[in-house]
Chain A
């Protein structure tokens, strides 16, 4: 007996809510630094703030031991350019990302990441994460350094991407946070940031949250706050019955950090950017099927008759050997990995891959479906490092894939893993499991935009710092989250050491408390959270999709407001779990408004942001080659203009390194 249905069939009883509920109780927590979000970024922020001698509280949505997109593990670490074997400098790496994005990514954040990524990983090693082949399992492999025992990924020549055994990285970081004395508050659905004087745009002095087990209200007061939350996965697609198991972030990804920041007056850029929703979970169980991308990079793909699909370099030249797949080719200095928070990679930095004309060659009959990933063709070291080391340590692979599949008899030395059978255009991208044509073109994800921060990773608001993955303009994925979290935590603590005590505005807190509990205190006939969430996603798909104009965007805003003032305001939550989910719906609407309002302000189409204004169809007009920081003041939109290279202009120094030395 495992499920609720089985329980009822067996006992005839409906089980009561297992935790004591007290919606009227208010708890107050005082800290020097409050960290919102207890994923890898948040815990790194907390650990590094504590090291500066301040008192730190973490407000975590789930349970910090295993929560967050990075909580399920990681198999490789990007941008470790200062490791002793790396042939790439922080400047080169930063420029590779910045130029690939034609300037549409935060250069300051990227440089900070490349300067400190390796140091951050070394600290993870001290916490107990295995980052070297200490057991000599891969002795003699061409991706292993004999002396340091570091294991390189993807580009074995440039050596700035490292393979690591990170299946338990979150547990180790969590244990370290506990050891150094971080106070962790789990099951906290954060509903708002507190501004000094209760005024939007004022200094941030804490936050409010609802406990999603007990329903109690928590007021956090802190001298400094770090937002370390994840993405807004439920904003444009809500179909968890189909997608939750295939997604690379969990259900708690509701854009809460962006929402509370936006409502408190924080500034954002590029929230008008979006991209195809490849990883929204409409594909297959991650890493469960044949593919040749990322974790499976280098894997031979064969057709139904055993004929191998050629690997090519980014310029389309066929590669002759397996070894060639892992080294830069003519015209390249080094290669960048994928999953580093940039949506474009210039050919001079791109990875080798399966030939992109595969769909056409399948259509012509040169290759026959189904395709297979044939790991048996690789050397034992390459095979084992892909299926055994990387699959086995990457997020959602140790139990869900390695353990599950080997128990079912799969042996990478004997078996060929089938690639999904799908419409031919799906074979354009070698990450075949991620969905391709299984994801309708209406489903898009926010891409590239986030909080605008300075060289301290501080937002425009005094006391508010950001350390996160894609919540941050210029951020990335797993390693980048650790690194920016660590940096933001340090800087928040430094500020907190001399900052004045937070003085709460009781009116702001009471107003927020009233707002937060509406849905548990009214008629029980209102909509549930899933109904509302699906409607939000519908509005965003229709009115903030690939093609927009001023009228459709305004209609979208109107409908979000309609939803807010009718279905959502009369919604009903029967327990604290549903209350948390409904509060997330309110956050999603805020993020939706932020995306639409940002879209209204950019009166030009933009290819890098994949932004198409039907009323301004000219692509990339030079006069719009600028960031448009957006924020709210007195609940009205305020826009300014900022050059793409603002991070190297006054008041900052003109070089990356000089700024880093000045601010780090």
Chain B
């Protein structure tokens, strides 16, 4: 990481739309190929994860995630203003949970139908 500061436009809203895990992503760019709005561009360095250039053009179809051959390499992140809205309450205990919370409950591992 460079220590320099640059003159940059503000980070766009939403900041990311999707997040790459560089340890898993192999830079195959299949996600880049299928994105309907070119949210991402290939990294100039071959084999590295793509660069999210136009996050505000993402409509959150998650086609990139479905296309990815390396599970965990790419994660879809709803904008914070939408994540903060997704709240639920456990019926028997009365506990409150929300999408993106610090200490989430254990995952529900049941897969979707089909």
A interface residue numbers (CB < 8 A to B): 1-5, 7-13, 15-16, 18, 61-63, 65-68, 71-72, 130, 137, 165, 167-168, 187, 212-213, 240-242, 244-247, 249-252, 284-285, 288-289, 372, 374, 376, 384-385, 388-389, 391-393, 395-396, 398-400, 402-411, 414-418, 420, 577
Q: Which of B1-45 contact A (CB under 8 A)?
A: 1-2, 4, 6, 8, 11-20, 22, 33-38, 41-44
Decide if A3 touches B51 in the complex (CB within 8 Å): yes
CB–CB A240/B56 < 8 A: yes
Q: How far is the CB of A248 from chain B (nearest CB, A)?
A: 8
Q: How many angstroms from the CA of A122 to the CA of B29 in the assembled complex?
A: 34
Contacts across chains A and B counted by CB atoms under 8 Å: 218
> A389-B112, A392-B114 are known contacts. Are A1 and B100 too (CB-CB below 8 A)?
no
Q: Judging by beta carbons under 8 Å apart, are A404 and B82 in contact?
A: no
Q: Can you add 13 more A-B contacts, CB < 8 Å, to A165-B113, A400-B78?
A: A2-B18, A10-B2, A62-B38, A63-B34, A241-B13, A241-B56, A244-B60, A249-B59, A250-B37, A250-B59, A399-B76, A402-B112, A406-B110
Per the bound structure, the CA–CA distance linking A12 and B5 in Å amounts to: 9
Q: How far is the CA of A18 from the CA of B55 in the complex (A)?
A: 17
| Chain A: CB-nearest residue to B32 | A18
Are A2 and B57 closer than 8 Å at their CB atoms? no
A662 CB, min distance to chain B CBs, angstroms = 38
| Among A1, A250, A384, contact of B61 (Cβ-Cβ < 8 Å) | A250
> Knowing A213-B38, A389-B114, A420-B85 touch, does A406 contact B108 (C-beta < 8 A)?
yes
Which chain B residues border A376 with CB–CB below 8 Å?
A: 91
Chain B residues with Cβ under 8 A from A284's Cβ?
82, 85-86
**Do residues A410 and B108 form an inter-chain contact, with CB atoms below 8 A?**
yes
Task: Tell me, in angstroms, the Cα distance from A72 to B59 when the chains sit together.
Answer: 10
Contact A2 B113 (CB under 8 A): no
Specify which chain A residues have a CB less than 8 angstroms from the CB of B99 in the assembled complex. Answer: 288, 404-405, 408
A649 to B45, CA, bound (A): 65
Q: Shortest beta-carbon distance, A13 to chain B, in Å?
A: 8
Q: Using Cβ atoms and an 8 Å threshold, which residues of chain A touch B8? A: 5, 8-9
| Docked pose: A16 CA to B45 CA in angstroms | 11
The one of B1, B19, B90 that contacts A9, using a Cβ cutoff of 8 Å = B1
Which residues on the B side are within 8 Å of A71 (C-beta)?
Answer: 36, 61, 63
Partner of B88, one of A11, A68, A242, A416: A416
| Chain A hits for B86, CB < 8 A | 284-285, 288-289, 405, 418
Q: Are A415's CB and B36's CB within 8 A?
A: no
Return A280 CB to nearest CB of chain B, in Å. 12
Interface centre among A11, A212, A241, A376 (most CB of B within 10 A): A241
20 contacts between A and B (CB under 8 A): A1-B49, A12-B6, A18-B41, A72-B62, A130-B114, A241-B12, A249-B59, A250-B61, A289-B85, A388-B112, A389-B113, A393-B114, A396-B62, A399-B62, A400-B62, A403-B112, A406-B108, A406-B110, A408-B104, A409-B104
Cα A7 to Cα B55 with chains together (Å) = 14
Instruction: Name the residue on B nearest A61 (C-beta).
Output: B36
* Chain A residues positioned under 8 Å from B89 (CB to CB): 372, 415-416, 418
B78 contact set on A, CB distance < 8 A: 245, 285, 288, 400, 404
Residues of A within 8 A of B108 (CB): 406-407, 409-411
User: Which positions 51-72 of chain B face chain A at CB distance < 8 Å?
Assistant: 51-63, 65-67
Q: Is A400 touching B76 in the complex (CB atoms < 8 A)?
A: yes
| Nearest chain B CB to A141 CB, angstrom units | 12
Which of B20, B36, B49, B97 counts the most chain A CB atoms within 10 A?
B36
Minimum CB–CB distance from A470 to chain B (whole Å) comes to 17
- Report Cα–Cα, A187/B35, bound state, in Å: 10
**Minimum CB distance partner of A403 in chain B:** B112
Question: Which chain A residues border B58 with CB–CB below 8 Å?
Answer: 244-245
- Most A-side CB within 10 Å, residue of B6, B43, B76, B85: B85
Residues of chain A with a CB closer than 8 A to B57's CB: 240, 244, 250-251
Q: Which residue of B lies closest to A370 (CB)?
A: B87
Q: Establish whether residues A577 and B38, one from each chain, have CB atoms under 8 Å apart when the complex forms.
A: yes
Given A3-B16, A5-B8, A399-B62: A244 in contact with B113 (beta carbons within 8 A): no
Asked whether B49 lies within 8 Å of A384 as measured between CB atoms, the reply is no
Q: Which residues of B contact A61 (CB under 8 A)?
A: 36
Chain B: minimal CB distance from A479 (Å): 17
How far, in angstroms, from A391 to B112 measured CA to CA in the complex?
Answer: 8
Residues A1 and B22 in contact, CB atoms below 8 Å apart? yes
Instruction: Tell me the minimal C-beta distance from A415 to chain B in angstroms.
Output: 4
Residues of B contacting A5 in the complex (Cβ-Cβ under 8 angstroms): 8, 11
Residue of A nearest to B11 (CB): A5
Indicate if the CB atoms of A410 and B88 lie closer than 8 Å.
Answer: yes
Instruction: Give Cα A165 to B113, complex, Å.
Output: 8
Among the interface residues A10, A391, A408, which one has the most CB atoms of the partner chain B within 10 A?
A408
Q: How far apart sit A484 and B78, CA to CA, in the bound complex (Å)?
A: 33
Query: With contacts A399-B65, A407-B107 known, is A3 near B112, CB below 8 A?
Result: no
Chain A residue nearest to B8 in the complex (CB): A5
Contact status of A414 and B91, CB under 8 A, knowing A285-B85, A393-B112, A577-B38:
yes
B45 to A, closest residue via Cβ: A11
Is the pair B37, A252 in contact by a Cβ cutoff of 8 Å? yes
B59 to nearest A CB, angstroms?
4
Whole-angstrom distance between the alpha carbons of A213 and B36 in the complex?
12
Known contacts A241-B14, A418-B87; A4/B53 CB under 8 A: yes
Known: A9-B2, A63-B34, A418-B87. A409 touches B107 (CB 8 A): yes
The residue among B8, B12, B99, B109 with the most chain A CB atoms within 10 A of its own CB is B99
Cβ–Cβ contact B90 & A414, under 8 A: yes
Contacts of B34 in A (CB 8 A): 63, 65-66
> Which residues of B lie under 8 Å from residue A410 when comparing CB positions?
88, 97, 108
Contacting residue for A251 out of B22, B59, B65, CB 8 A: B59
Q: Tell me the bound Cα distance from A402 to B56 in angstroms.
A: 23
Asked if residues B16 and A2 are in contact (CB atoms below 8 Å), the reply is yes
B59 (CB) vs chain A CBs: closest residue: A250
Are B60's CB and A400's CB within 8 A?
yes
| Cβ 8 A contact of B110, one of A11, A15, A388 | A388
Looking at B43, B49, B79, B89, which has the most chain A CB atoms within 10 Å of its CB? B89
Q: Knowing A2-B19, A3-B52, A374-B91 touch, does A398 contact B62 (C-beta < 8 A)?
A: yes
A392 to B43 Cα, complex, angstroms: 32
Contact in complex: A384, B113 (CB < 8 Å): yes
Question: Are B91 and A15 interface neighbours, CB within 8 A?
Answer: no
A67: chain B residues at CB < 8 Å are 36
Cα A376 to Cα B12 with chains together (Å): 39
Q: How far is the CA of A168 from the CA of B78 in the complex (A)?
A: 21
If the complex has contacts A240-B56, A389-B114, A392-B113, are A285 and B97 also in contact, measured as CB distance less than 8 A? Answer: no
Residues B4 and A12 in contact, CB atoms below 8 Å apart: yes
Give the chain A neighbours of B88 by CB distance below 8 A: 372, 410, 415-418
Other-chain contact of A12, B2, B13, B76, B79 (Cβ < 8 Å)? B2
Q: Which residue of A lies closest to B100 (CB)?
A: A408
Nearest CB of A to B53, in Å: 5
